[in-house]
Amino acid sequence: MKNNRKAVVIGKSAIGERYVRVMTGWGWKVDNPREMAGMSWGSRPWHDYCLAVVASPTHLHVRDCALLTGMGVPFIVEKPLSHSMGGVGELVRRVENAHLPTMVGCPMRYTAPAMYLASTRHIYPRRSLRIVVCESYVGYWPRYRRSKELGGGALLELIHEIDLAQYLQGEVKEIKGELYGEVETDSVFDAGVERKATLELCVEDGNSVKVLLDIYSKGPLLRRMVTSDCQYFDYGMVSDTVERMLFDFVRMIESGGEYRCGNSVREAAQLLGKVIRFRDSSPLLTL
C-alpha cells in the first residue's frame, strides 16, 4: 500500500478511530475532524484525499455524504446509512449520477466465518442460519446509539445482522418478529428504544434466517452464527475486519469501478427502508 496518500475520517467515534489506526498503519496521512462543518472549506484541497470515511453520528450521515459527493471524494459511510429515509433517495441519485466509488461500512461481512460461509454458499444452497448477538453492558455508548430519533437501538444494531444475513443467504424479502424495550427511560436508553429483538428474516429461495439480539444483556459479548448443518462460528468485531474492508474499498477505487465490493449506497438504502418499515409497524413490547 503506497504511503504517500491522504485520507479524512469524519467523526471522533470509536469506529472512526479504528479507520484512523488502520490507515496510519499503512503510512497514510489521515485528518480526523470532529465534523465536516468545522473544516475550512475554502482552503481545503479535497482533491488530495484518496478517500473519506463518514463516522459521524448517524443523523449527520446523509448531509456529510452529500457534501463529499459534491466534491467527488470516494467515501465509506458507517452503518446505518441514516436514522430515517429523509434525503436518502436523493443521495442515492447523486452518488450514482457522479459514478462515485462508495461503500456502506458493514465489516461483519469481513469476519473469517462470514467469508467462509459466503464461499460455500453454492455447496449448501438450502442451508439455514441462526444469528445470536448479546452485547455486554452499554452504559458507555454515545447518546446517538441509545436514542431512537438519532438512529440507535435496534435500527443501528440490526443493520449489522440483517446485512450479514443478506450477504450470506440472499436478499431479505420480509422481516418478521418482535421488538422489546422500555416505555419509560432508564439511565442508559431513551424511552421507546428497542433493546431486544427476536426476528425471522425471509430470504430468497425460501430460506430463512433467525436473529436473536439482546443489546443490554449485561453478560459477556457474544456473536455466534449457527448453520443447519451443525456448524458453529463465534465471531465479533475483530481488529482486522476494518482493514480488510478498507483494502477492498481501495481496490475498488483503483479499478475504476470494474471491481465491486461491499454494500453499495443503493443496497444500503433499500435495506434501511425495510428495517424502518418493520420498526414503525411493530409495537414495542415491554421487557
CATH number at residue 132: 3.30.360.10
Same domain, 44 and 94: yes
pLDDT of residue 115: 86
- 48-99 per-position pLDDT tens digit: 899 999 998 888 999 999 999 998 999 999 988 998 999 999 999 999 999 9
Same domain, 216 and 163: yes
Which amino acid, one-letter code, is at 83? H
Domain containing 67: what range?
Answer: 6-104
Q: Look over the chain and give the mean of its residue pLDDT values, rounded to a whole number.
A: 83
Neighbours of 115 (CB within 10 A): 15
Q: Is the pLDDT of residue 237 over 60?
A: no
Separation of CA 145 from chain center: 13
What is d(CA 221, CA 65) in angstroms, rounded to the nearest whole number?
Answer: 32
Judgement on whether residues 133 and 202 belong to the same structural domain of the protein: yes
257: left (phi over 0), alpha (psi -120 to 50) or beta: left
Query: What is the number of structural domains in the chain?
Result: 2
Residues 100 and 135 occupy one common structural domain: no
Q: Facing residues of 76 across strands?
A: 53, 103
Q: Does residue 137 share a domain with residue 54?
A: no
Specify whether 100 is located in the same domain as 153: no
Q: Is residue 211 part of a domain?
A: yes
Listed residues 88, 104, 120: the one ending a domain:
104
| pLDDT exceeds cutoff 70 at 186 | no
Contacts of 163 (CB under 8 A, 6+ apart): 79, 106, 108, 109, 263, 268, 271
Question: Where does residue 284 rank: exposed (0-12), middle (13-18), buried (19+ CB within 10 A)?
Answer: buried
**209 and 139 belong to one structural domain:** yes
**CATH number of domain containing 75:** 3.40.50.720
Within its chain, how far is the Cα of 37 from the centroid? Answer: 23
Is residue 262, in this structure, part of any structural domain at all? Answer: no
The count of C-alpha atoms lying within 13 angstroms of the C-alpha of 40, restricted to the half-sphere facing its C-beta, is 5
- 138 confidence band (pLDDT: 50, 70, 90): low
- Are 115 and 137 found together in one domain? yes
pTM of the model: 0.88
Domain co-membership, 28 together with 130: no
- How far apart, in whole angstroms, are the C-alpha atoms of residue 269 and residue 163? 11
Burial 225-244 (b: 16+ CB within 10 A, else e): bebeeeeebebeeeeebbbb
pLDDT-wise least confident of 40-44, 64-68, 124-128, 157-161: 40-44
